[in-house]
Every structure is written in structure tokens, then in C-alpha cells.
């Protein structure tokens, strides 16, 4: 941005022309220049007609956004960009424009922090035992086997089976065995891994009239009931006397089922079985429901306060960025391709980009951004796949030339040139055959 451009834009700006006339006449009572009244003692006019606030140039409205974009070329943060523009220029509401510009900058938002976690939402307890089940795998074990874990949502009653692999042809007979002992459930919830994402598994559940439910991709908390059981299972499997590591069925499921869960045994809720010596004086199912509701409310309040959880405000039609896996330390936290939210149900969000690609994740995987400009959208198309080149900032030619000169100077100082480091006199061959010699050569 040159001085001639500022002079031309100032002469075309009606507000600054009125301000310039008011400064010369020392009359700042006009409603047009009310926003400059608080700094009237700092304003001056140069011989070129440019208005200054102290030593800073007052930028016309047509050049304000361009000036902010130039200051933000290095993609500094809000405070650094503010301090940079405050050194040379000024205009009303400059800090607000800087903040809005950085919020609309997709590359800056992609490397920024994620939103605060959303408040957790407790799930309702089923009305009867063995109606809603959670299933997952634990392993592989040292014997290359896996543990198929099925746990009841109502009673926390687990059932563990050993399988040699996770194929549907191996898992389905084990599920048949479990359902034959207990009963066929109504809902079977799992993650999106094999074999739960296969057609054979889906056809099997459909033949039994079981409704399949899947947790949100890349969100293990969606299947938290069985994931929580993995912790005591892993602890038990690491014991020296445990037979799980050698592919033998352990007693962890039976020990877990007779342990107290909020004062009620899982085995009692599932099978109406109690230990010897206990008298069934109260309704244990009613007591379990009351304890469950009380504990869930406490956990919800504690987790939300501990994590400073708050609503993200993401709704249908909003523009968002999606978290991406870390390939290395230079990988941005979010993919720079903007998505538009097309569906939200509690914590599940589905979004689509301009190419039609849809993605479904938990709401914590998204970051809400303002509607990006066309320049940001074009830039995001070139940076869909992360590369080192995409993270190098574009540097002006003058800066490149300056840096190269500095590098050459540093190389000279580091001894990387052919000249010795000791001080030497200037050497120059004398001119001969009657030509005049320079005065600094003639002694």
C-alpha cells in the first residue's frame, strides 16, 4: 500500500474529507465526525491532505480491510496483529475488524484450539434387564485371541467369550450361545468396527428382530458401558495368575457380577439371585433405579463443572471445521475444508462440504466458524490433504530478498565464504598505459 493510494482514497472518502475540513476550521461538532471527537486533540492534517492521529495514518474506509489483510499475512494471533497495525495506522473500530478478520481466517481457525466440551447428557435406564446390550472386543491377547464382551445396560451383568478372530462367522455362534442362556435382547449397541459394520452381522440381527445401534465414529464414549468394563478386565488380565493371557476363560465376569454396583448386585438385577445370608426385604430393582438416577445426576454435574463444559451452539446451516488425525507435529488440529451442518441430534452432528462429502462425528469434533470468504474457500481446496508446503506462509518478495541478503551476510560471518576472516586491505589492480589512477591508490 503506497502513500499515493492513501491520498487518493482519502480524497474520495466523504467522512475523512469532512473531518479534514473540521480539523482545519477547528470545528468537530458535525455529526459526521462524532466518532473522532474523543481524539480531536491528536488529529492533524499533512501537506498531502492525509490525516494523522499522532504519528499514525488514519486509513480511509476503502483501504481498511486491505490494511488488516496485509498485517495478517503472517497469520499472527489477534493481539499480535493488533499491536502490529497500531504502530502505523488507525481508524475507528480497528480492533473489532482485526478480531473479525482472524475469526473468518480458515487457516488460523484450523490451527486454533477446539471448543470447550459440551455438557454430558445422561442416558435413561431401560425398564427391564437384558433388553439393551453393549458389545465390544478386548484384545488381541498374547495368544492372538480376543475377548467378546457383552454387558447389560440395566444390570451391568457381563458375559465374556473367547474368540480367535473378529470375523462375523466366528462371533455369531458366540452371540447365539449368550442369547440362548439369557434371552434375545431388543437393542444391541456397538462401535463401527468389524464385524459390526458388515452385512452378515446386520442380517443376523435382522433375523432375530434385534435393533442395531452404533456409537458415533471416533467417539468411544458413545459405547461407554462396555468400555468402562474393559478397565477391570484389563487389570484382571495383567495379574500373574490370570489365565486370560493364555486364552482360557477367566472368572472376571462372575466376580464382576457379584460385586456391588451402587449398593445392588448385577447378578441380582439380572437373575434375581442374591448371596447366601441376604434377605430380600426391599425392592432391589426400585432401589437400583433410584441409585442410578442419583449417581447419574451427580456425575453429570461433576463432569460439567470439572471440564468447564458449555454448549457449542452448533446448529443446522452453520459452517464448521472437522478435527483431523495428527500425522506429525505440524499437522493442524482441524482440516481446512469448511463443512456445512446438515443434521444434528443431541451430540451427533452430520456435515457436508462443497464437494458433497458427508461426515458424521460427535459435536466435540467440530469447530464453528463464520461463513468463509471465497478466497478462504479456494485456499482450503488446495490444502485438503496436509503437506509441509501448505503450511509455509507466503512471504513478500522484498522480505525474501532481505532474508537472502541476511543469510549471505551470516554466511560470511560464519566463515562459509572463500575470503579469510582476518582484516585485509582493499586490493585493486592498477590501471596502466597512461590512464589516470584513482586518488586512493596513488600514494
pLDDT value, residue 38: 82
Q: Which one has a higher pLDDT value, 374 or 413?
A: 374
> What is the architecture of the domain spanning 318-368?
Roll (2.30)
* CATH code of the region 132-258: 3.30.420.10
Statement: residue 274 has pLDDT above 60? no
Name the H helices within 112-242: 168-181, 199-208, 224-237
Please tell me the total number of residues recorded for the chain in this structure.
443
pLDDT value, residue 23: 84
Q: Say whether 332 sits in a helix, a strand or coil.
A: coil
Q: Say whether 274 sits in a helix, a strand or coil.
A: coil
Q: Say whether 135 sits in a helix, a strand or coil.
A: strand
Please tell me the pTM assigned to this model.
0.68
pLDDT (tens digit per residue) in 197-253: 999 999 999 999 999 999 999 888 889 889 988 888 888 778 776 766 665 665 555
Q: Can you state the angle between helices 78-86 and 61-71, rounded to 10 degrees?
A: 120
Given a contact cutoff of 8 angstroms between Cβ atoms, the answer to whether 332 and 111 are in contact is yes
SS (H, E, C) the chain: CCHHHHHHHHHHCHHHHHHHHHHHHCCCCCHHHHHHHHHHHHEEECCCCCEEECCEEECCHHHHHHHHHHHCCCCCCHHHHHHHHHCCEECCCHHHHHHHHHHCCHHHHHHCCCCCCCCCCCCCCCCCCCCEEEEEEECCCCCCCEEEEEEECCCCCEEEEEECCCCHHHHHHHHHHHHHHCCCCCEEEECCCCCCCCHHHHHHHHHHCCEEEECCCCCHHHHHHHHHHHHHHHHHHCCCCCCHHHCCCCCHHHHHHCCCECCECHHHHHHCCCCCCCCCCCCHHHHHHHHHHHHHHHHHHHHHHHCCCCCCCCCCCCEEEEECCCCCCCCCCECCCCEEEEEEECCEEEEECCCCCEEEEEHHHEEEECCCCHHHHHHHHHCCCCCHHHHCCCCCHHHHHHHHHHHHHHHHHCCCCCCCCCCCCCCCCCCCCCCCCCCCCCC
CATH 3.40.50.2300 assigned to domain 3-104? The reply is no
Instruction: Name the grid cell of 212.
Output: 442395531
Instruction: Name the grid cell of 310.
Output: 458449555
The domain spans of the chain are 3-104, 132-258, 318-368
Which range is most confident: 19-33, 71-85, 257-271? 71-85
pLDDT value, residue 435: 57
- Strand order of the sheet with strand 319-322? 358-362, 348-352, 339-345, 319-322, 366-369
User: If pLDDT is split at 50, 70 and 90, which confidence band does 276 have?
Assistant: very low
User: If pLDDT is split at 50, 70 and 90, which confidence band does 403 have?
Assistant: very low
pLDDT value, residue 265: 61
Mean per-residue pLDDT over the chain, rounded = 79
Which range is most confident: 84-98, 271-285, 300-314, 392-406? 84-98
Question: Could you give the CA distance from residue 294 to residue 292 in angstroms, rounded to a whole number?
Answer: 5
Query: Could you give the percent of the chain with pLDDT greater than 70?
Result: 74
pLDDT value, residue 260: 46
Mean pLDDT lowest among 311-325, 335-349, 366-380: 366-380
User: If pLDDT is split at 50, 70 and 90, which confidence band does 277 have?
Assistant: very low
What would the mean pLDDT of 396-418 be, rounded to a whole number? 40
Query: Could you give the percent of the chain with pLDDT greater than 90?
Result: 36
Cis amide bond preceding 195, omega within 30: yes
pLDDT value, residue 33: 74
Residues 6+ apart with CB under 8 A from 157: 129, 130, 151, 257, 266, 267, 269, 270, 271
pLDDT value, residue 358: 94
pLDDT value, residue 399: 36
Given a contact cutoff of 8 angstroms between Cβ atoms, the answer to whether 129 and 155 are in contact is yes
User: If pLDDT is split at 50, 70 and 90, which confidence band does 139 have?
Assistant: confident
pLDDT value, residue 157: 86
Nearest CA to 265 out of 183, 181, 155 is that of 155
* Percentage helix, strand, coil for the chain under 3-state DSSP, each rounded to 5: 40, 15, 45
pLDDT (tens digit per residue) in 148-198: 999 999 888 888 899 999 999 999 999 999 999 888 999 999 999 989 999
Instruction: Name the grid cell of 63.
Output: 483501504
Given a contact cutoff of 8 angstroms between Cβ atoms, the answer to whether 135 and 190 are in contact is yes
pLDDT (tens digit per residue) in 352-368: 999 999 999 999 999 99
Q: Which one has a higher pLDDT value, 307 or 250?
A: 307
Q: Which one has a higher pLDDT value, 131 or 396?
A: 131
Amino acid at each position: 500500500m503506497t502513500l499515493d493510494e492513501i491520498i487518493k482514497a482519502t480524497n474520495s472518502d466523504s467522512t475523512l474529507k469532512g473531518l479534514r475540513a473540521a480539523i482545519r476550521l477547528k470545528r468537530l461538532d458535525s455529526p459526521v465526525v462524532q466518532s473522532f471527537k474523543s481524539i480531536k486533540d491528536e488529529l492533524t492534517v499533512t501537506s498531502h491532505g492525509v490525516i494523522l492521529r499522532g504519528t499514525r495514518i488514519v486509513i480511509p474506509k476503502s483501504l481498511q480491510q486491505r490494511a488488516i489483510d496485509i498485517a495478517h499475512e503472517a497469520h499472527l494471533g489477534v493481539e499480535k496483529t493488533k499491536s502490529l497495525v497500531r504502530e502505523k495506522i488507525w481508524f475507528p473500530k480497528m480492533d473489532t475488524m482485526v478480531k473479525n478478520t482472524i475469526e473468518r481466517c480458515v487457516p488460523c481457525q484450523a490451527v486454533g484450539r477446539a471448543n470447550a466440551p459440551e455438557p454430558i447428557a445422561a442416558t435413561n435406564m431401560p425398564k427391564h434387564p437384558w433388553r439393551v446390550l453393549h458389545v465390544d472386543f478386548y484384545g488381541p491377547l498374547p495368544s492372538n485371541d480376543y475377548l467378546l464382551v457383552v454387558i447389560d445396560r440395566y444390570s451391568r451383568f457381563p458375559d465374556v467369550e473367547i474368540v480367535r478372530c473378529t470375523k462375523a462367522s466366528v462371533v455369531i455362534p458366540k452371540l447365539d450361545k449368550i442369547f440362548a442362556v439369557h434371552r434375545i435382547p431388543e437393542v444391541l449397541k456397538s462401535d463401527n468396527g468389524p464385524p459390526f459394520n458388515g452385512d452378515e452381522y446386520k442380517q443376523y440381527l435382522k433375523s432375530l428382530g434385534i435393533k442395531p445401534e452404533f456409537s458415533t465414529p471416533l467417539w468411544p464414549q458413545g459405547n461407554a458401558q462396555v468400555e468402562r468394563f474393559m478397565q477391570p478386565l484389563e487389570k484382571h488380565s495383567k495379574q500373574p495368575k490370570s489365565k486370560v493371557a493364555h486364552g482360557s476363560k477367566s472368572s472376571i465376569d462372575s466376580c464382576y457380577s457379584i460385586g456391588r454396583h451402587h449398593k445392588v448386585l448385577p447378578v441380582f438385577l439380572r437373575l434375581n439371585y442374591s448371596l447366601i445370608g441376604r434377605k430380600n426385604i426391599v425392592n432391589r430393582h426400585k432401589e437400583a433405579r433410584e441409585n442410578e438416577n442419583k449417581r447419574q445426576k451427580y456425575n453429570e454435574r461433576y463432569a460439567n463443572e470439572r471440564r468447564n463444559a458449555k454448549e457449542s451452539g452448533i446448529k443446522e446451516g452453520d459452517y464448521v471445521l472437522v478435527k483431523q488425525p495428527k500425522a506429525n507435529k505440524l499437522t493442524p488440529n482441524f482440516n481446512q475444508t469448511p463443512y456445512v451442518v446438515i443434521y444434528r441430534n443431541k451430540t451427533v452432528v452430520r456435515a457436508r462440504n462443497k464437494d458433497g462429502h458427508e461426515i458424521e462425528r460427535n459435536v466435540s469434533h467440530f469447530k464453528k466458524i463464520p461463513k468463509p470468504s471465497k478466497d478462504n474457500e479456494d485456499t482450503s481446496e488446495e490444502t485438503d490433504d496436509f503437506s509441509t508446503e501448505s503450511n509455509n506462509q507466503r512471504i513478500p518478495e522484498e522480505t525474501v530478498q532481505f532474508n537472502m541478503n541476511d543469510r549471505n551476510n551470516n554466511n560470511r560471518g560464519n566463515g562459509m565464504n572463500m575470503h579469510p576472516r582476518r582484516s585485509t586491505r582493499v586490493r585493486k589492480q592498477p590501471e596502466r598505459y597512461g590512464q589516470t589512477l584513482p586518488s586512493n591508490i596513488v600514494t
